[in-house]
Copies of this chain bind each other. A is one copy, B any other.
Amino acid sequence: VTDPEHIVICAGFAQGVHLVLRALAETGLRCVAVEDPGHCETRTVSGMVAAKVTPVPVDAGGMVVDELRKTAAGAVVLTPAHQTPTGVVLAPERRQALVDWACRAGATIIEDDYDAEFRYDREPVGAMQGLAPAHVALLGTVSKSLAPALRLGWIVCPPALTAGVAKQKQLADHGSPGLDQLALALLIESGRYDRHLRRMRGVYARRRARLKNALAAYAPQVELQGLEAGFHAVLQLPAEADEQGVITAARERGVGLYPMSEYRAGGQTTPPRLVLGFGNVSDDAVERGIARIADLLRGSG
């Protein structure tokens, strides 16, 4: 829900969140809330701009808004469509509670529309931005849908913040490359971008199904968590498992996994969970990889 003049083109999510936070800092922002677990770079970037960064817990319904309300945050960065890394979606009542919080506190929701295009089980949920355009900065990117090397994204700004965000973009790099923007516009206008998304949804859905089947076959004790969406999945290990031990052993066998503890503000390791990306590997590699580390996942490696 916006007009073209409130969209600022940027170099993907990393820069987008930086620019919005800097624009907010110019208007007095002191404290930023982030998801826990969440993307560690978001914590780093928030800490570069704001005096305080407050982690807010995420459960099966997404960010716990009751906990957010207890903070002094003037902005929150979150991934409502498909939480990074847990893979849950923000529950409908939480979405409304979040919007109510932003309106009452005069706060800004920085919505990372991270892989919202890649839901495999149903139509994606709408962006929160549509619920409260004056309080949400919506960040989108083609880093996942096309390629990270393109470095193209966009910020749908709350109208009162557009000039500030545009100023920060100007100061940061004088704008994103023009030819790349024209090429992307052509791709979108021609309908090929939509066709690409539809095709890739099928590719990634099939790959996720292969992952699920491989787990059922080789390590049925391990729970695959999160939505049927995106390019990563979360595996919950038996309670006594050692995240870092499994990861180190898997790496020695040529299989790359990430520990959930890396995404935790406090580095906690319970319950032991692994984050597993399947976006840039082949269907066969997913299955071979699970087979190769099945004993580790089962806790018998």
Using a CB–CB cutoff of 8 Å, the interface residues on chain A facing chain B are: 10-12, 14-15, 18, 41, 44-45, 48, 147-152, 171-180
Interface of A, helix, strand, loop or mixed by DSSP:
helix
| Contact B148 A174, beta carbon cutoff 8 Å | yes
Q: Residues of B contacting A41 with CB < 8 Å?
A: 171
| Contact A171 B48, beta carbon cutoff 8 Å | yes
| Copies of chain A in the complex | 2
Pick the contact of A149: B18, B48, B171, B177 (CB < 8 A): B177
Q: Residues of B contacting A14 with CB < 8 Å?
A: 171-174
| Contact A15 B172, beta carbon cutoff 8 Å | yes
Closest Cβ neighbor of A178 among chain B residues = B149
Pick the contact of A150: B12, B15, B45, B179 (CB < 8 A): B179
How distant is A113 from chain B, measured CB to nearest CB, in Å?
17
Which of A150, A173, A174, A179 has its CB near the most chain B CB atoms (within 10 A)? A173
Q: Residues of B contacting A173 with CB < 8 Å?
A: 10-12, 14-15, 18, 151, 172-173
Which of A11, A45, A147, A177 has its CB near the most chain B CB atoms (within 10 A)? A177
| Contact B172 A151, beta carbon cutoff 8 Å | no
